[in-house]
């Protein structure tokens, strides 16, 4: 039921209205003469507290507040892929340099025709796939039964609001359309969670081999200013073995985000040779957009991710940066005069962060469809201080932590993933053998760190031969395995098989070398072997068995 109330208070994005007897939490309101979009977030005696998604400039006490009988909804349906929108799903296609001109146009294209193929007729269960339409070359969009009952759908070309068929049972009869309106804050996924175990291949050696993420897992990439978060995010978007990419850009400066909006759609999908955008959704909210919309952008991304996961796809959601999102929470909390927690963030910051990452997972729906949603969030701690609340709260919920180090970035070691501070708690299927090798290489890097201190004190030449050798292998491993160029034709993507072969070769080099040195302290590998080890990453092959044989065969 619609109702009109009066504005009694306004401070930034928060306004209060009186006279709304039917006010409910999450109801939508339109405020003032310009009908600014708002949402009720709190009720206090006879006053409704509303967060406004647009600039509240020029509002005055006494302005009308129109209460709608709906909640804030997202539109789910074919046409989502390839879309570029803000946190409220408003199209940003023509928003311009500073993303000012957000249109209030329809969220999804109303005119486009989709060829709908019925998949089931007769009795179906809620959640069954009852029809399909090809959304892009690679993605088939599935339509689910909204209730259990008898379904009838006619093949044909439909617009998203057209009725494609009906479903009825004893209690109700429903018309089916391609468009589903879903509350932004409500989870879409229902089903059984399955423990994630399958590696999400990203093609980045330091991630896949050293700190692996799984399909359906969550990872954080914290890093100070300029440490390479955005580039790594783009690398993941380009290469990760996911069917669908959702990129949420939160709160960066307007012109920077506009760069992303112009650059991202240009990226070519190296796998399908189409534009990457064809299987992506880009959600952008800049620091000059109203604060409340910045907060929803992350939830909208999560919801769209869950929607496609239900269709059985592997979805990867990348949020850059969750720190700006947390700052938006802080700003809004301040406007509501809530009791501040650590560093002014709201006391519920940690629970908000965990709600976001908890959307990740592998799910089997009631219809037996298995899909995954993996989440990677960039964190930009001020001054690179990882002890601050956002990094700390994130660390508690994610299982994979890719710590980006400004010092490595300064020395142009990219991706600047710090092997001393990063970790992954995931157990990857069939990774037992690799686990042992990974451990020995991690120990080697640790040893390098310890030895460096000694070198500074007594000099390199005073080290025993075996330690000098360990330092050599550690350096080779850092420069030729961990370091990976985003721009070199062969090196930019490394298959899982090649990664394994490479790390096995480094391990062999270390093992055999140490054994030989024990027998003969003057042992040196021939230069050819060292050169081959350093060249592996640029070579177009997946096996280095021959190189390992040469290492084994090295005579003292």
Ligand X SMILES: Nc1ncnc2c1ncn2[C@@H]1O[C@H](COP(=O)(O)OP(=O)(O)OP(=O)(O)O)[C@@H](O)[C@H]1O
What residues make contact with ligand X under the rule CB under 6 A? 223, 225-231, 380, 414-415, 485-486
Q: Which of 231/504 has CB closer to ligand X?
A: 231
Binding site for Mg ion (CB under 5 A): 229-230
| CB of 487 vs ligand X, minimal distance in Å | 6
Smallest distance, Å, CB 31 to ligand X? 34
Which CB atom, from 12 or from 226, has the smaller least distance to ligand X? Answer: 226
The number of residues in the chain equals: 556
Q: Are strands 84-85 and 129-134 parallel, antiparallel or unpaired?
A: unpaired
User: Which of residues 141 and 234 has its CB atom nearest to ligand X in the complex?
Assistant: 234
List, in order, residues 6 or more apart from 186 with CB less than 8 Å away.
Answer: 303
Return d(Cα 438, Cα 461) in angstroms, integer. 29
The smaller minimum CB distance to ligand X, of residues 225 and 460, is found at: 225
Query: Which one of Mg ion, ligand X, none interacts with residue 312, CB within 5 to 8 A by kind?
Result: none
Are 236 and 202 within 8 A, CB to CB? Answer: yes
Closest approach, Cβ 502 to ligand X, in A, equals: 18
Q: How far is the CB of 227 from ligand X (least distance, A)?
A: 4
Q: Which is nearer to ligand X, 14 or 250 (CB)?
A: 250
Q: Which residue is nearest to Mg ion (CB)?
A: 230
For residues 364 and 371, give the distance between their C-alpha atoms in angstroms, rounded to a whole number: 7
Tell me the chain's radius of gyration from C-alpha atoms: 27
Contact of 87 with 327, CB cutoff 8 Å: no
Q: Are strands 314-320 and 244-250 parallel, antiparallel or unpaired?
A: parallel
- Answer with the entry of Mg ion, ligand X, none that 415 interacts with (C-beta below 5 to 8 A by kind): ligand X
Residue 207 to residue 370: CA distance in whole angstroms: 25
* Helix (H) or strand (E) run with residue 504 in it: helix 496-519
Q: What is the nearest approach in angstroms of Mg ion to the Cβ of residue 151?
A: 47
User: Would you say 196 or 224 has its CB closer to Mg ion?
Assistant: 224
Q: Which is nearer to ligand X, 67 or 409 (CB)?
A: 409
Which of 166, 165, 142, 145 lies closest to 155 in space, CA to CA? 165
Comparison of 229 and 299: residue with beta carbon closer to Mg ion: 229
Strand, helix or coil for residue 477: helix
Q: What is the dihedral of CA 205, 207, 211, 212, to 10 degrees?
A: -100
- 231 touches, from ligand X, Mg ion, none (C-beta below 5 to 8 Å by class): ligand X
Q: Where are the beta strands (DSSP E) in 53-176?
A: 64-71, 73-76, 84-85, 114-118, 122-124, 129-134, 140-144, 149-153, 156-158, 165-168, 173-176
Angle of helix 322-335 relative to helix 349-357, nearest 10 degrees, comes to 140
CB of 256 to ligand X, least distance (A): 8
Find the shortest distance in angstroms from Cβ 147 to ligand X.
Answer: 45
At its nearest, how many Å lie between ligand X and the CB of residue 308?
26
Name the minimum Å distance from CB 389 to ligand X: 18
3-state secondary structure of 519: helix
**Cβ-based burial of 476 (10 A; exposed 0-12, middle 13-18, buried ≥19):** middle
List the single partner that 78 binds among ligand X, Mg ion, none, CB under 5 to 8 Å by kind.
none
Task: Report in angstroms how near the CB of residue 135 gets to Mg ion at its nearest.
Answer: 30
CA-nearest of 198, 314, 182 to 246 is 314
C-alpha 542/C-alpha 304 separation (Å) is 36
Q: Name the binder of 225 from ligand X, Mg ion, none, CB < 5-8 A by kind.
A: ligand X
Q: Which residue do the tokens 């065969």 mark?
A: 553
230 or 280: CB nearest Mg ion: 230
Beta carbon nearer to Mg ion, 237 or 507: 237
In the complex, the smallest distance separating the C-beta of residue 318 from Mg ion, rounded to whole angstroms, is: 11
Are 4 and 66 contacting, i.e. CB atoms less than 8 angstroms apart?
Answer: yes
- Residue 380's binding partner out of Mg ion, ligand X, none, with CB under 5 to 8 Å set by partner kind: ligand X
CA-closest candidate to residue 499, choices 535, 543, 446, 534? 543
Instruction: Please say which residue, 32 or 233, places its beta carbon nearer to ligand X.
Output: 233
Is 217 or 224 the residue whose CB approaches Mg ion more closely?
224
Give the Å distances, CA to CA, from 288 to 29, 144, 213, 330, 349. 22, 38, 33, 16, 22
Q: Which of Mg ion, ligand X, none does residue 322 bind to, with CB < 5 to 8 Å depending on kind? A: none
CB of 183 to ligand X, least distance (A): 32
């Amino acid at each position: 039921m619609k109702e009109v109330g009066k504005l009694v208070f306004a401070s930034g994005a928060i306004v209060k209205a009186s006279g709304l007897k039917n006010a409910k939490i999450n109801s939508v309101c339109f405020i003032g003469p310009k009908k600014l979009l708002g949402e009720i977030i709190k009720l206090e005696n006879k006053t409704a507290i509303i967060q406004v998604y647009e600039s509240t400039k020029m509002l005055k006490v006494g302005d009308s507040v129109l209460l709608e009988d709906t909640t804030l909804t997202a539109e789910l349906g074919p046409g989502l892929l390839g879309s570029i929108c803000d946190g409220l799903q408003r199209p940003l296609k023509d928003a311009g340099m500073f993303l000012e001109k957000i249109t209030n146009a329809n969220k999804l294209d109303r005119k486009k025709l989709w060829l709908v193929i019925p998949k089931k007729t007769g009795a179906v269960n809620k959640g069954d796939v009852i029809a399909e339409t090809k959304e892009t070359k690679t993605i088939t969009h599935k339509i689910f039964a909204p209730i259990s009952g008898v379904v009838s759908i006619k093949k044909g070309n439909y617009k998203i609001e057209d009725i494609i068929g009906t479903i009825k049972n004893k209690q109700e009869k429903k018309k089916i359309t391609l468009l589903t309106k879903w509350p932004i804050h409500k989870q879409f996924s229902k089903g059984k969670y399955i423990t994630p175990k399958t590696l999400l291949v990203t093609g980045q050696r330091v991630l896949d081999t050293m700190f692996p993420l799984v399909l359906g897992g969550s990872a954080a990439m914290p890093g100070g200013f300029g440490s390479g978060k955005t580039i790594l995010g783009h690398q993941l978007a380009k290469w990760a073995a996911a069917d669908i990419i959702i990129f949420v850009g939160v709160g960066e400066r307007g012109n920077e985000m506009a760069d992303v909006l112009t650059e991202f759609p240009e990226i070519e999908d190296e796998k399908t040779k189409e534009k990457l955008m064809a299987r992506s959704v880009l959600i952008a909210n800049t620091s000059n957009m109203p604060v409340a919309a910045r907060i929803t952008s992350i939830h909208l991304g999560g919801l769209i991710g869950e929607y496609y996961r239900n269709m059985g796809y592997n979805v990867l959601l990348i949020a850059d940066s969750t720190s700006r999102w947390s700052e938006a929470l802080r700003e809004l909390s301040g406007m509501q005069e809530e009791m501040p927690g650590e560093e002014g963030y709201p006391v519920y910051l940690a629970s908000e962060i965990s709600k976001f990452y908890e959307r990740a997972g592998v799910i089997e729906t009631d219809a037996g469809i298995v899909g995954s949603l993996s989440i990677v969030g960039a964190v930009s701690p001020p001054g690179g201080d990882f002890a601050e609340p956002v990094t700390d709260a994130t660390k508690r919920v994610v299982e994979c932590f890719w710590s980006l180090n400004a010092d490595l970035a300064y020395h142009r070691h990219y991706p600047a993933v710090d092997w001393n501070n990063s970790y992954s708690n995931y157990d990857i299927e069939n990774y037992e053998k690799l686990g042992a090798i990974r451990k020995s290489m991690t120990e080697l890097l640790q040893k390098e760190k310890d030895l460096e201190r000694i070198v500074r004190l007594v000099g390199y030449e005073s080290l025993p031969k075996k330690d000098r050798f360990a330092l050599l292998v550690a350096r080779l491993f850092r420069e030729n395995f961990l370091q990976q160029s985003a721009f070199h034709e062969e090196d930019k993507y490394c298959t899982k098989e090649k990664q394994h072969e490479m790390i096995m070769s480094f391990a062999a080099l270390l093992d055999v070398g140490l054994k030989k040195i024990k027998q003969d302290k003057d042992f040196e590998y021939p230069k050819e072997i060292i050169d081959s080890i350093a060249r592996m990453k640029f070579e177009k092959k997946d096996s280095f068995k021959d190189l390992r044989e040469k290492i084994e065969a090295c005579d003292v």
